[in-house]
Amino acid sequence: MPEIPESLLARLAALGIETTTTDHAPVFTVAESQALRGSLPGGHSKNLFLRPAKSGPGPHLLAVLEEDRKISVNALARAAGAGRVEMAPTEDLRRLLGVEPGSVTPFGMVNAPPGAVRIVLDAGLLRDHPWVHFHPLVNSKTTAIRPADLLRFLESLGHRPELLELPAPGA
C-alpha cells in the first residue's frame, strides 16, 4: 500500500523535520497553484515524471524544477545525463510514486524502491529559497519543508537526490 499524507508527515516528524501543511482545493497546474496558494513564502515547483523512451533501459526520472523554469524535456534529459525520455504514463506514476496525476511530488519517492526512480532537483530552487513547497502525495494539500531537510529525507529513504544547475528561469 502506498503511503498516505498522514503517514508521510509522521515519517518527516520522526526524523525531526519541521514542516507546515496547508489544506486547499485540489490543483492540477502551476497556474491553479499560483491562484490558490495565498501567501506561502518560499519556492514552488513543477514536477515532471519521465520514463526512458521506447521502454529503454534505465530508471524513471523525477525532475523537480522551479515553477517558472522554461526547459524542454529533451534539454532537461541532456542536463540530467539521461537518454531519450518521454512522459511516463499514469500507471507508472501510481506504481512507482503512489500518486495520481496532478500530485507528482518529490515526497512520492517514499513509495519508490531505491534505484527505480532517479530524482533530479533544480539547484536554484533549493539554493534560492529557505522553504520549498510540495504536495504531500495529494494535490489538495501543500507542505513546506527546508531544502536541506528535503534532501535528508530523500537520502533516509535510500535515494540519492541529484542537483542540476540549470539556466536561470526565463533565460
Q: pLDDT, tens digit, for every residue of 57-78?
A: 679 999 999 998 889 998 999 9
Helix axes 147-156, 5-14, angle to 10 degrees: 100
Domain ranges for the chain, please list them.
Answer: 5-164
In which band, very low, low, confident or very high, does the pLDDT at 128 lie, cut at 50, 70 and 90? very high
Cα 166 to Cα 170: distance, rounded to the nearest angstrom: 11
CATH fold of the domain at 5-164: YbaK protein (3.90.960)
Question: What are the pLDDT digits (tens) for 145-162?
Answer: 999 999 999 999 999 999
Closest CA to 132 of 11, 2, 6, 19: 19
Q: DSSP per residue over 52-96, as a string?
A: EGGG-SS-EEEEEEETT----HHHHHHHTT--SEEEPPHHHIIII
Does the pLDDT of residue 115 top 80, yes or no? yes
